[in-house]
Every structure is written in structure tokens, then in C-alpha cells.
Amino acid sequence: MHRIIKKLSAIGLLSMVIALVVAGCGGSDPTAAPRTAAKAPPAATAPPEATAPPAATSKPAATARPGATAPPAATARPIPQPTAAPVPTGPYRGGTLNVPLLADVGNRDPSLSGYFFNYGIGANVYSEMLRFNWEAPRDRVMPSLAESWETSSDGMALTLHFRDGVVWHDGAPFTSSDAAFSIRENNGRFASQLDIIASMDEPDPNTLVMNLTGPSASLPSLLAHMRIIVFGEHTWDAAGGDLTDGPNIGTGPFVLDDFDRGVSYGLVRNDEYFLPGLPYLDGIKAFVIGEEGTRLSLFRAGRLDILGASATTLNAEQIEDLRGNVPDLQALGFNALNQLVIVVNAQKAPFDDLRVRQAVSLAINRHEMSLLPHVQKPAGPLVGPPGWGLSDDELLALPGYGDGDRYLADVEEAKRLLAEAGFPNGLDVELISSQASYHRTSQEVLIDHLSRAGIRASGAPITSADDVARRNEGNFELNVQGVGLSFPDPDGAFLAIDVGLFTKLEDAQIADLFDRQSVESDPGKRAELVKQLQQRMIDQMSIITIGWQEFFWAAQPKVRDLLPPLGWTDANWDHVWFDQ
């Protein structure tokens, strides 16, 4: 508690903590100054005034405790019903959007496109060549830096035509060479997907031609992703190729104005943004608030405008609980295209033995896991949006997907496989998870499930930075994770296919099937290849998939035109405004 108070004092927010502790779940909701459409911006919304949790503010989700043997009781989950908002008369200009960060953004190098972008900060400082629609349908690819694009008749080239007059935040002109440079230097988790670009030509400062190794209908969607951003060659050169700590000079709707590592990041409007009249907001203030109880309390008190971004998503129970204090909150359904999985280190004994990986999968009761507030239903390995791969009936007929007597038989088979692999008395394993609350809940229940087959799991949640580092280094055994589609197409499932953060199994047949479906133009043949791909992933247990995840974002009643992305694809808030 002394550490938290010291941190709060440093940013002048201690008074609000005291008020929250006294008031419990209460707190006032300060009202921002009135706004008028297309007028000079009024005073910005006050930032959150607390970063420490008051006592007993959130209702914990029911979970099975480690060591328990009884499955969680089946309970009906509440279904959030969004409250109809008043008809807006805006959009209005002005105000500062206050958002939470699960943790510090870490490395700010745009070539790595890490959490700086996943948490929404980099995604508003920089721009992509293309972008996803800011309103429904969210998977539609729209112009951004490129105002138009076309694919050659043979599908072997993609040409992008960039806008005239775009400038970087430092006033330097943007050109097509910056876009080409950003592709060449991209070293983030999606970099391997850019290998389809064999070469690039720049016939003029506003045109970029990407020559491809083969046709790719999904490339425009990839170029619209917030992890494939454009950064300036001149900024890179001035920093000697090391932008770990910036400067972050983009072309996006907001400029990084101030930051205090581990505390907050402040963005202000870019008055030279290339989309006329945007953004509406004066700025964005992002606060590092790792404690879930604190985030919920600050939202109740009106000090946070949204919950959901930066992996601070909510489940159905939490939405209904928040309604007790914010009855008109907006419950925004978030289709994360994301699955709850166990990442298995198949490069490390004993998990390099297929029988051990199968035993882990068989010990999990996916029907019980689907009772958790954040799990929608059992799922097979990620190969595309729901509807691709095996049907629900085909999947539920497989070992590891049964309930009742079938599940009991699966547990016995898991014990037999372990004994056959040299572990007749079971084995001890480390099962780690990130600090996200839903991962911690899943971890507790999975420890119980694994114990039923004699797999004695233990482990503690770790920071996002440690989590990524350990998976990159292969310094783990089992890891509770969420893996999602990069964009809504089977090609977007590469994170679950390529050896890296989410799978450690190298399998030539999996790689071949993924490559073949990517270039197959016949829809029926492609669907069959995707089904074969998923079956092979199940047979080899390249990743242990549990179920599709179900999440929500929450927004204060005044927030307008904030639509959660389809998957973790973008976090551009240039269209967001306040209706008051």
C-alpha cells in the first residue's frame, strides 16, 4: 500500500484515493464543460484521480480453487443488454479520453510494433497504409495513408497510391519511400507475413508497387493492421536505428506529448492530420492501472471513460455489476476472434512427447471451462473465424471434447498415456499465465482439471514483459494464453501456425497445409484444406485449444463512436467524441 500511495503522490492523485476508500463503491462523476459542434475546444475532461483500489469494489468471478476436485457449478451467465443512448446532436470537438493500460507500454520502437501499439498508444500516433472501417462492418478495409489501391490482373502486384501533402509530426513530408522502408524494417510478430512481398518499386513519391511471390487476397487486411504501421526513415536514421525510447514521430491523429514510464502517457490532437476535421478529441490520457479492482472503481467514479482497450476487457458478470453504479453504461460487445489456449513447449521434455501433450488435452473438461464468464464454447485450434475448420458436431465427437462419462474415460486415457510415456505416478509441471484476470481465473480451474489425471500443476501469473520473454526464449512448460486472428481470414491465424509465441511445434505438414490454403482460389477446396489443417493440429497437439473467448468493453454514456475492433486489429480513435 505504501508503494501505491507513493506512486499516487507523484502524480497528484492521492486525494481521490482517500475519497474512494471512504466512499467504497461510490464517488462523484465530474461533468466536463459543455461542448458545441465544430467550435473551439472546451476544457479537457479531468484525468483519473486514483490508481489504488478501494476495498471490496468488484464482485469476483466464481472459480474452482487449486486442488479442488468438484467441477464448477453450472450457472446461467447474465447477458448484458446495452442501454439505448440518447440521439446525439454532434459530433462535438474537445475533451480528453481517459483510458487504462494493463501495464507499461514497454519498448516504443515502431519496427517491433509491440505493446506500445497493442495498448492503443502507438496506434493513434502512427498510421497504417490502409485501415479498418471505424464503424460497422469493422472488417472492411478503407483508405488511410493510401487513398486508393489496386491488384494486378494476375494477382502478383499490389499498387498503393498515397495522399498528397501528408506530413510527419515534425513537419517533414511523408513519401512512398517511408512506406517501403517500414515494410523492410518491420521486425514485429507479423513480420513473417510480409515475406510475400518479394520487392518494392517507388515510381514516384506518392506510389508504391509491391511485387508479390504469389497472389494474396488478404494482404490489404494485413496492411490495415495496427502492427504494420508506417514510420519515418528520417526519424530512424536520426536515432541510429534505435527507437526503443522514441522519439515517436508519426502521421497519426494524435501526437505523443508527455509520458511517465509506469504511470501515464498523454496524447494531444494533431492539427495537421491528413483526414480533414479529425480527430474530434483534444487528446487521450492513458494511465497504467494494473489492478483490476482499481480500474473498476475508477470507471464507477467516472474517472475512466472506457474499459476494454489494452487487455482490460470485461466479462458479462462484470458488466452487470458495473451497471449498479453506472446504469447507463454502454456494454460494447467485443468479438476478439480470440481463443483460450495452453501454449505447450513442444521443444522441451517431456512435452516433446506427443503422448504427454495428448494427456494434458484429455485432462481438460472443455464443457466445464465454457461455464466461465469469458469462455463462450469449446473450440478447435485456430484456423479462421468461427465456421472454418471442423463443424461443432465433428469437433465435439473427438477425444478431449466430451462431457460426463466420456470425459471420465478421457481422464483415464490421459493417465494411461502418461504411464506409457514413463510417468506412471503422474508428473509435476509449471503452468504460468499472464496477469489478465481471465487468464488467472482459467489458470486456477485448469490446475484442478490437470490434477484429475495426475498432472500436478503450479505456477503464478507473470508480467506481460516476462511472459513474452519466456515464450520467446522457450523458458516455460505450459502457458495459459489467448491467441487470436490477426484479421478475419484463415491467413490471419498464422500466430497459431508459425513457430513462435503461441506454438513451439515444427511440423512440415501443418506448414504445408497453411501455405496451400493461402493461395487456393476455389472456396470449396480452400475450406477442405483448412479442415485438414485443423485436424492435423489436433492430431499433433501443436497448441492445446480450450474455447472461444467472449468479452465486452464498457464506455461511459457520453462516449460516442467508439466501436471495439474485430479482433485486436486496430485502436484508432480519431472518430471518437463526447456527447455533452
Inside any domain, residue 104: no
Q: Count H helices, E strands: the chain? A: 18, 24
Query: Which one, of 439, 433, 443, 502, lies nearest residue 463 by Cα?
Result: 433
- Which range has the top average pLDDT, 39-53, 226-240, 513-527? 226-240
Find where cell 494476375 sits: 154
Give percent above pLDDT 90 in the chain.
Answer: 70
Sign of the four-CA dihedral 528, 565, 443, 461: positive
Question: What nine digits make up the cell of 69?
Answer: 476436485
Inside any domain, residue 284: no
Last residue of a domain, one of 195, 220, 238: 238
Is residue 231 domain-shared with residue 342, that is, in the same domain? no
Rounded Cα–Cα distance for residues 182 and 431 (Å)? 37
Q: What is the average pLDDT score of the chain?
A: 86
Inside any domain, residue 577: no
Position 464 confidence tier, pLDDT thresholds 50, 70, 90? confident
Is residue 227 domain-shared with residue 357, that is, in the same domain? no
Rounded Cα–Cα distance for residues 129 and 230 (Å)? 7
Could you report how far apart the first and last alpha carbons of the chain are, in Å?
Answer: 36
Q: Is the pLDDT of residue 66 over 50?
A: no
Inside any domain, residue 392: yes
Confidence (pLDDT) at 247: 96
Last residue of a domain, one of 194, 217, 238: 238
Q: What is the CA radius of gyration of the chain?
A: 24
Please name the residues in contact with 94: beta carbons below 8 A apart, sequence gap of 6 or more: 33, 35, 41, 42, 43, 44, 280, 281, 282, 578
CATH code of the domain in which 361 resides? 3.10.105.10
120 against 212, higher pLDDT:
212
Is residue 501 domain-shared with residue 391, that is, in the same domain? yes
Is residue 542 domain-shared with residue 415, that is, in the same domain? yes
Q: Is the pLDDT of residue 28 over 50?
A: no
Q: Is 196 helix (H, G, I), strand (E, B) or coil?
A: helix
Alpha helices, DSSP H, located in 51-166: 115-118, 122-125
Last residue of a domain, one of 238, 268, 302: 238
Please name the residues in contact with 473: beta carbons below 8 A apart, sequence gap of 6 or more: none
Inside any domain, residue 360: yes
Confidence (pLDDT) at 86: 53
Inside any domain, residue 351: yes
Please name the residues in contact with 53: beta carbons below 8 A apart, sequence gap of 6 or more: 291, 293, 294, 297
Q: What is the pLDDT of residues 141-174, one digit of tens each?
A: 999 999 999 999 999 999 999 999 999 999 999 9
Inside any domain, residue 461: yes
- Give 3-state DSSP helix, strand, coil % of the chain, rounded to 5: 30, 20, 50
Q: Is the pLDDT of residue 116 over 90?
A: no
Is residue 232 domain-shared with residue 343, that is, in the same domain? no
Q: What is the pLDDT of residues 360-419, one digit of tens each?
A: 999 999 999 999 989 999 999 999 988 899 999 999 999 999 999 999 999 999 999 999
Is residue 228 domain-shared with residue 347, that is, in the same domain? no
Record the pTM: 0.72
Is residue 227 domain-shared with residue 347, that is, in the same domain? no
Number of structural domains (the chain) is 2
579 against 67, higher pLDDT:
579
DSSP notation for 541-573: TSSEEEEEE-EEEEE-TTEES----SSS-----
Domain coverage including residue 436: 338-549
CATH code of the domain in which 224 resides? 3.90.76.10
Find where cell 497437439 sits: 541
Q: Is residue 554 a contact partner of residue 519, using CB atoms and an 8 Å limit? A: no
* SS3 readout for 314-376: ECHHHHHHHCCCCCCCEEEEECCCEEEEEEECCCCCCCCCHHHHHHHHHHCCHHHHCCCCCEE
Inside any domain, residue 194: yes
Is residue 229 domain-shared with residue 353, that is, in the same domain? no
